[in-house]
Chain A
């Protein structure tokens, strides 16, 4: 009955989130280029912190936008 969602990174056994994997990072951005909250994505706290760092690095290197639309 209880269909609790699991963390995407834990499910796929991704221990270290790389800033160069933009296809994966894009899944956690909304159409404006902002990060999706943990409440919606169900990412665990540790992965969310890593994800935030990876997104910021990718933005600096021009792989992801700071703002979109």
Chain B
């Protein structure tokens, strides 16, 4: 019985030692003043580093227009946001610590949303290169417009009275 319990503990400790590459993307509320954003970003970075994480890459929070209105519940009120400060941090951390980091991020009063993903060490974010690559070629082939198809079809001209008379004469002959 004891041996089984001991084995289970060993397995658990093995799991804890697994170091993974994580990335946290966060969206801060737009109501915070511009001067304070840098301080809050450092504060969030410290949450990660205090857990013993090794920072690989990061981007400071910048104001971005949101694609849809987000609602944050503050007390009894629902506050709507159309803008937010979006930033991200990529780091290496053991699997056992990530839950604590997630909780700390979610508990931050300025946090609108946060997303933790597992990723790779290499740079995946193209950043400023992305628009150039996106412009380089059309991905979806444009469908042939209906107007062109109509233009290709032979157009029938209505017959005049003279044409009809001529054709009747030819038939009589």
Contact = CB atoms under 8 A, between A and B. Distances in A.
A33 to B, nearest CB: 8
**Most chain B beta carbons < 10 A, residue from A12, A26, A59, A65:** A12
Interface residues of A, number: 31
A36 B139 CA distance: 10
B133 A24 contact: yes
Interface residues of B, number: 29
A interface majority secondary structure = loop
**Most chain A beta carbons < 10 A, residue from B88, B126, B131:** B126
A24 B134 contact: yes
Contacts of B130: 21-24
A19 B86 CA distance: 13
A57 B117 contact: yes
Given A20-B125, A57-B25, 18 more contacts: A5-B141, A12-B136, A18-B124, A18-B125, A18-B126, A20-B127, A21-B125, A21-B127, A23-B131, A23-B134, A41-B139, A60-B115, A61-B113, A62-B64, A62-B84, A63-B64, A65-B68, A66-B68
Interface of A: 5, 8, 12, 14-24, 26-28, 36, 40-43, 57, 59-66
